[in-house]
Amino acid sequence: MNTYKWVNAQGETQLVKYHWLPKQGVKSFTAGDGAAIQAGTLGFHTKDLYDAIERGEYPQWDLHVQLMSDDEHPELDFDPLDDTKVWPEEVFPLRKVGTMTLNRMPENFFAENEQIAFGTGVLVDGLDFSDDKMLVGRTFSYSDTQRYRVGPNYLQLPVNQAKNATVYTNQRDGQMAYGVDLAPGQNPHVNYEPSITGGLREATYPTHDEQGPVINARLTRKRIPRTNDYKQAGERYLLSEQWERDDLVANLVGALQQCRREIQERMVWHFFMCEDEWGQRVGDALGISADDVRGLPPLQTQTLTEEEQQRAANLGKNGPRDVTGLTMTHCVPNEHVVVG
């Protein structure tokens, strides 16, 4: 989802997206299937994972990355740092970098699972933040969330400690302090820098003070200009399995039936903007046609491209999008598991 940067020893940067793809395939329930199986087996997926590992059928996920040069990309019809978009695989192919295997269950579920504290700001050398707006927001909030949820010393817990490095900091005390990470010869009474009485000094880090492209621009607080909100949504709909489309429509109709007419009309307009079939199916179930919503203006915060304006003018008459040869990340064969 978020976009990071890879940085090499020369300070050259590449934008990177990470993807975990399951080697055992994908099987899914509809909402009805999920309710039926949950009625008989509480925590079905957790039990399924435990049982598979106990049988020696260790689940695996391949880690892939997509790389993009760290500069402007006017050739794209979307902003590559927009978290609601995927990078087309025919242009930015997935590259496998490794495999994760779950070969045992936690000995202590709370200590090894419940207290895991993930955060987008916990980075290793060679990995850095991009200008992804959501990533910036998450980086500030996630660590604060873990301090509140687990405790101020959550990084001292074994499950959250650095695995291949020894960490020395000026962090002291606080609720449930697990230990004191003193450096050899450090004065335990000095927890600040600079100091001439045996305090720590920040290590020389292997990254560059200046890295990536040179930018001559203003820093603003504005919406992403190249949103292209509908194209990829329509393509993903067409690349979905037929049962996935059916289930999506059923879920949307079930939710929208509870809404006022103007909300239903606006949502049907959005679906038609994505893909004719999508809007038609939801609209038919709600008693709303393309003619009913074709005259709706864009939302106040929306700026439609020329292509989108044309699509809005021909709402319901645009025909299916061309997805020939298109591969979208995570549009994989998805087997529908029917619960009797």
Q: Which residue from 2, 34, 32, 30 is spatially nearest to 15, judged by alpha carbons?
A: 2
Domain ranges in the chain with CATH number 2.40.180.10: 1-24+59-227
Distance CA 331, CA 34 (A): 21
pLDDT of residue 151: 92
Per-residue pLDDT tens over the stretch 191-228: 888 888 877 877 777 667 778 888 888 877 778 888 89
pLDDT (tens digit, 9 = 90+) per residue, 45-96?
999 999 999 999 999 999 999 999 999 899 999 999 999 999 999 899 999 9
List Cα–Cα distances, 94 to 1, 66, 130, 240, in angstroms: 14, 5, 19, 20
Please state the three-class secondary structure of 228-297 as a single string. CCCHHHHHHHHHCCHHHHHHHHHHHHHHHCCCCHHHHHHHHHHHHHHCHHHHHHHHHHHCCCHHHHCCCC
Please report the beta strands in 140-247, taking only residues with DSSP state E, as ranges in sequence order: none
Q: For 5, list phi and psi in degrees, rounded to 5.
A: -120, 140
Closest CA to 285 of 331, 241, 254, 308: 254
Could you give the CA distance from residue 328 to residue 169 in angstroms, rounded to a whole number? Answer: 43
Read off φ and ψ for residue 145, nearest 5 degrees: -60, -45
Residue 295 phi, psi (nearest 5): -85, 0
Regions of the chain where pLDDT drops below 70: 206-207, 340
CATH number of 1-24+59-227: 2.40.180.10
Q: Taking Cα atoms as reference points, which of 281, 274, 287 lies closest to residue 318?
A: 274
The token duo for 185 is 């010869």
How many C-beta atoms surround the C-beta of residue 105 within 10 A?
13
Counting every residue, how long is the chain?
Answer: 340
DSSP string, 48-108: HHHHHHHTT---EEEEEEEEEESS--TTSSS-TT-TT----TTTS--EEEEEEE--S--SS
**122: left (phi > 0), else alpha (psi -120 to 50), else beta?**
beta
Could you count the other beta carbons within 10 Å of the beta carbon of residue 290? 18
Phi, psi angle pair for 14, to nearest 5°: -135, 140
Element holding 203 (H helix, E strand): none
| Residue 140, pLDDT score | 86
Model pTM?
A: 0.88
